[in-house]
Structure 1
Amino acid sequence: MAGQDRELTLRFLAEPADVNFGGKVHGGAVMKWIDLAAYATAAGWSGKYCITAYAGGIRFVKPIHVGNIVEVTGKIIYTGATSMHVAIDVQAGDPKNAERQLTTHCIVIMVAVDDEGKPTPVPEWIPEAEEDIRLRDSALRLMDMRKRIGAEMEAHVKPTID
């Protein structure tokens, strides 16, 4: 039911097809898993089809090895009128023990859309716990930073003519 579950974890085994030439899981494979978890989290929260509007701040902290159990956790940390900010943590480790280490972290913004592909309202998430308030406030600061970066990037998109 929409507006109920704000967190989910996808769990699977890193396969040989995911490996790059260096013998570690390819960053592109990790980014695909991140997008899948962000979609599942946002669709679960909103009860609607969602599209990726932004993925940023991706930090590859440690490599993932073939045969590792991979856990990709998505958590809603802010909701706008039609958008949801999803914090993603990727953890991995040897399947023979329960220990997992953080390998990747990022924020993904998903937008709920209707049958015509137009943005549509999502249930509001209101943080109550201190940690959740901290995460929401961080999402708001990041939103402000993205606006400033976007303004700076305009020079690259629309070069001035001398």
Structure 2
Amino acid sequence: MAGVDREITLRFLAEPADVNFGGKVHGGAVMKWIDLAAYAGAAGWSGKYCITVYAGGIRFVKPIHVGNIVEVSAKVIYTGTSSMHLGIDVKAGDPKEPERHLTTHCIVIMVAVDDDGKPTSVPEWIPETEDDIRLRDSALRLMDMRKRIGAEMEAHVKPAL
């Protein structure tokens, strides 16, 4: 049911096929997992098909090793008319131990779309706790920063006349 579950965690084992030349899990594999969790979280919140429109602030804090249990958590931290901002945490550790360490964190923005691929409305998420308000306010500040960065980037995209 839409507008009920704002958080989801995907769990799996890091496989040998996920390894990079340095022997750790490849950053691209982690980014794929982030996108999967963001989709599952956004689709679960909205009850609709969703597309990724932004992934940013990706911080690779610690490496993930082959054989680690990986937990990718997505949590809705802000909703617009058709968009959902999700905070993503990736944690990993030895499956024989209960402890998981933060390895990666980022923000992903998903947009719900209808059958024609047009943005469609999502249920509003209203923060209730102090932590939820802090997360929502952070999402709003990041939106403002992205607008300013986007304006700066125009100089790199458009040739000077």
TM-score, structure 1 as length reference: 0.99
* Local SS of the residue matching 2:77: strand
The answer to whether residue 80 in structure 2 is matched with residue 74 in structure 1 is no
Aligned partner of 1:108 in structure 2 is: 108
1:115-154 map, 5 Å: 115-154=115-154
For residues 3-61 of structure 1, give each alpha carbon's deviation from its aligned partner in whole angstroms, at most 9, with x where no partner exists: 00000000000000000010000000000000000000000000000000000000000
Q: Deviations over 1:128-157 (max 9, x none)?
A: 100000000000000000000000000011
Q: Give the Cα–Cα distance (whole angstroms) in 2 for the partners of residues 122 and 94 of structure 1.
A: 38
> 1:43, 1:96 → 2: CA distance?
32
Q: CA RMSD in A?
A: 0.3
Gaps (5+ residues) in structure 1? none
Aligned equivalents of 1:71, 1:102: Cα separation in 2:
9
Tell me the number of residue pairs that the alignment of Structure 1 and Structure 2 aligns. 161
| Structure 2: runs of 5 or more not aligned | none
1:17 aligns with 2:55: no
Residue of structure 2 equivalent to 1:30: 30
Secondary structure at the counterpart of residue 106 of structure 1: strand
Give the Cα–Cα distance (whole angstroms) in 2 for the partners of residues 126 and 159 of structure 1: 42
Rounded to whole Å, the distance in 2 between the matches of 1:114 and 1:157 is: 31
Q: TM-score, normalised by structure 2?
A: 1.00
1:45-56 superposed matches below 5 A: 45-56=45-56
Q: CA deviation at 1:159?
A: 1.6
In 2: Cα distance, 1:125 partner to 1:92 partner: 29
Alpha-carbon separation, structure 1, partners of 2:12 and 2:139: 28
CA displacement, residues 59-99 of structure 1 (integer Å, 9 cap, x when unaligned): 00000000000000000000000000000000000001110
- Percent identity between the two aligned chains: 87
Where does structure 1 differ by over 4 angstroms across 4 or more consecutive aligned residues? none
**What amino acid sits opposite 1:29 in the alignment?**
A
